[in-house]
């Protein structure tokens, strides 16, 4: 047991610890229940809870939530316009966000998967200095997706090009699980 001054009192019976806490108009709080023997402290419980929530808030403030931003491109999107989108994507990658690049097909465009693969290859090559591929291109309904993460790709643009050309586009059947991500 630890008293209100922060001094270790030692192992004492529970009823005696409760009596000491009541004499000082404080609470007996179990701070380490898994320890052998359990550690209790004589403190003001309201103050204890306030300090604990304050520490949790400070810890949360230090964490940065990673978002997954999405870049949507159609097969007929002009590469000049895609360049503007890629500038924006570079900013997101610099902020530490992941990027899901999605080529959206409409109607009969789905039969031309090679176009989607070429677009994803161009994007990966263009961003190879700031991003690496976490998930290789795969079909997801009527769209082909690829996941990029911050951090330059080892081998640069050539490695990105080889990775995309070497991957078969995965067309999942309803009863199959998707393949594991390529790292």
Domains and CATH numbers, the chain: 14-62 (3.10.20.80), 68-166 (3.30.110.10)
Q: How many CB atoms lie within 10 A of CB 43?
A: 20
pLDDT digits (tens, 9 = 90+) for 79-115: 899 899 999 999 999 888 999 999 999 988 888 888 9
Question: How many Å apart are CA 122 and CA 183, to the nearest integer?
Answer: 19
b/e map 55-84, b = 16+ CB within 10 Å: eeeeeeeeeeeeeebebebbbeeeeeebee
Lowest mean pLDDT of 70-79, 82-91, 148-157, 171-180, name the range: 171-180
Q: How far apart are the first and last CA of the chain?
A: 50
User: What does the chain come to in residues?
Assistant: 183
For residues 123 and 155, which has the higher predicted lDDT (pLDDT)?
Answer: 123
pLDDT digits (tens, 9 = 90+) for 14-60: 888 899 889 888 988 888 888 888 888 888 889 888 988 999 998 88
* Residues contacting 155, CB < 8 A, separation 6+: 162
Checking if the pLDDT of 156 tops 80, the result is no
């Amino acid at each position: 047991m630890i008293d209100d001054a922060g001094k270790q009192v030692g192992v004492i019976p529970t009823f005696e610890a409760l009596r000491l806490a009541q004499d000082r108009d404080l609470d007996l709080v179990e701070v380490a229940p898994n320890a052998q023997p359990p550690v209790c402290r004589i403190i003001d419980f309201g103050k204890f809870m306030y300090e604990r929530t304050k520490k949790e808030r400070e810890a949360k403030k230090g964490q940065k939530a990673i978002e997954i931003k999405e870049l949507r491109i159609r097969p007929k999107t002009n590469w000049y316009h895609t360049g503007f989108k890629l500038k924006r994507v570079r900013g997101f990658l610099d902020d530490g966000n992941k990027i899901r690049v999605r080529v959206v097909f409409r109607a009969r465009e789905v039969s031309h998967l090679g176009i989607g693969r070429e677009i994803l290859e161009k994007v990966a090559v263009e961003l190879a200095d700031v991003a690496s591929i976490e998930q290789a291109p795969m079909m997801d309904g009527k769209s082909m997706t690829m996941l990029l993460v911050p951090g330059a790709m080892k081998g640069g643009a050539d490695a990105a090009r080889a990775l995309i050309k070497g991957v078969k586009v995965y067309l999942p059947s309803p009863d199959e699980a998707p393949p594991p991500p390529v790292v």
